[in-house]
A and B are shown apart, each in its own frame.
Chain A
Amino acid sequence: MNHRPYALLAELTYRCPLHCPYCSNPARVSAGGELTTEEWRRAIREAAELGVLQAGFSGGEPLLHADLASLVAEARGCGIYTNLITSGVGLDERRAAELRDAGLDSTQISFQADEATLADGIAGARAHQRKLEAARIVRECGIALSVNVVLHRANLSRLREIIAFAASLGTTHLELANTQYYGWGFLNRAQLTPTCAQVDEARRIAAEEKQRHAGRMDIFYVLPDYYEQRPKPCMQGWGRRYLTVNPTGEVLPCPTAASIPGMRFDSMREHSVAWIWNESESFNRFRGTDWMPEPCQSCPQREIDFGGCRCQAALLTGNAAATDPVCSLSPDRKSLDDYLAGVAANDQKLPPWQPRENPAAF
């Protein structure tokens, strides 16, 4: 077996104080049956034995997990680099110091926009001011800070302001991620998809600002893939470098894979992480290139983009084994072009988005 995972995404809970319409968490889950701290410790140890060098603690909001610091310490004890991926809500001085002392290496805080009114409107919560506080606390307690802003039609036109805002936070790493349409994001796709004009302008601004901030702040611009001609190399290939453990213990090749109809993912409650990585049907289903249909099978790009994203293929064509419709060579590309041609030119034609809700209580 040549494959070993390098990074673990530990989704500690689907609960979150924010209600962002672009959230990629599954839209229908129950809160019941979340892994215990002891089960998480085992997941981390087994992931480390398989070769994982990095762990992202995410969710939902990972700060809602009371034992987060002990999980960070467990990961550090296994030699794993630890990254907290958070809204920042709930990160006070005491919590930050506790996480730093547990060995937390870096923290990524998400912002919804550059100013509170728009940001809180997107988050569906009064969160912006608390995020500003959290960013200050992270910086002051000596944890490396990176900033993430998810982009979509409601904030893309403020890209220049958003970048200036991020620079003012004192981060050296800004990720500008155009929305990927999974989970809640797929439900709200019409409200989130920017116009072609917005995308073109944003691309130009991102390139300019990247240059302007070079040497002080690195800007990573995640492209809006519907508007691309080649698919993203999703997860660098299925079951090739990444594994996700979701709140209920399912081990997945990517955080949204559970959305694929008809696929069954094994739980670490029933199997070891190593068995699931190496042996399970789900991890082997789209590994390598044998599963690929044409035009992927004979494509010189097949080990560069790996046929794109399986979840996206499933969402857009109903068949997870299809070529990602983003690819201009896909027989399904026309349906995506038709969708983009129908993207509303102005917001008045759109019904409001559906705010992300928390899982139903058990």
Chain B
Amino acid sequence: MIAIDSRPALAPGVRLQLDKITGEPVLLYPEGIMALNSTAHEIVARCDGAATVEAIATALAAEYEIDRHALAGDVLECMEDLRRRRLIVFTA
């Protein structure tokens, strides 16, 4: 379970990059490449080890004028998926 006051960051050895051919964002890691949809990209780009999960959800809600509570579920689901793939890590 991800705590909303924890701070996500890209895991060691993981890099966010634009694919020059498609212009799409991708996560690069030791054994693979993962294409990100625009929502995932918005989230990952904010995983800087400083912002909390809550702050990221709030910032995204403000930017896209969506209800923060409605968005929080999607943000947590996306982060949980990335955490399981060991692409992001959390600090307290």
B8-36 residues with Cβ-Cβ distance < 8 A to A are 11-15, 17-21, 26, 28-31, 33
Contact of A144 among B13, B17, B20 (CB under 8 A): B13
> Whose C-beta in chain A lies nearest to the C-beta of B30?
A106
Interface range, A side: 20 to 34
Which residues A172-227 have CB closer than 8 A to chain B? 172-173, 175, 218, 220
Min Cβ gap A336→B in Å is: 28
- Report whether A53 and B17 are in contact in the complex, using a CB–CB cutoff of 8 Å: yes
Q: How far is the CA of A49 from the CA of B19 in the complex (A)?
A: 11
Q: Are B21 and A105 in contact (CB under 8 A)?
A: no
Chain A residues, CB < 8 A from B18: 79
Asked whether A173 lies within 8 Å of B19 as measured between CB atoms, the reply is no
Of the residues B20, B30, B33, contact of A105 by C-beta under 8 Å: B30
Q: Which residues of B contact A106 (CB under 8 A)?
A: 13, 29-30
Question: Which residues of A (104-145) have their CB < 8 Å from a CB of B?
Answer: 105-106, 108, 142-144
Query: What's the least CB distance linking B79 to chain A, in Å?
Result: 15
Q: A63 at interface (Cβ–Cβ under 8 A)?
A: no
Minimal beta-carbon separation of A235 from chain B (angstroms): 14
Q: CA A144 – CA B86 in complex, angstroms?
A: 12
Q: Give 25 A-B contacts (CB < 8 Å), ordered by A residue.
A: A4-B21, A49-B20, A51-B19, A53-B19, A53-B26, A53-B28, A53-B33, A54-B33, A79-B17, A79-B20, A81-B15, A81-B28, A81-B29, A83-B30, A105-B13, A105-B28, A106-B29, A108-B30, A142-B12, A143-B13, A144-B13, A146-B30, A173-B31, A175-B31, A218-B86
Known pairs A4-B21, A51-B20; A220 contacts B28 (CB<8 A): no
User: Looking at chain B, what size class is its interface with the partner chain?
Assistant: 10 to 19
Bound state CA distance, A332 and B85, in angstroms? 39
Tell me the complex Cα distance, A218–B85, Å.
9
Q: How far is the CA of A205 from the CA of B29 in the complex (A)?
A: 27
Task: Give the distance to chain B from A210, nearest Cβ to Cβ, in Å.
Answer: 14
| Shortest Cβ distance from B13 into A: residue | A144
Is there contact, CB below 8 Å, between A6 and B33? Answer: yes
Counting CB contacts under 8 A, is A48 at the interface? yes
* Residue with the highest number of chain A CB atoms closer than 10 Å, among B17, B19, B20, B30: B30
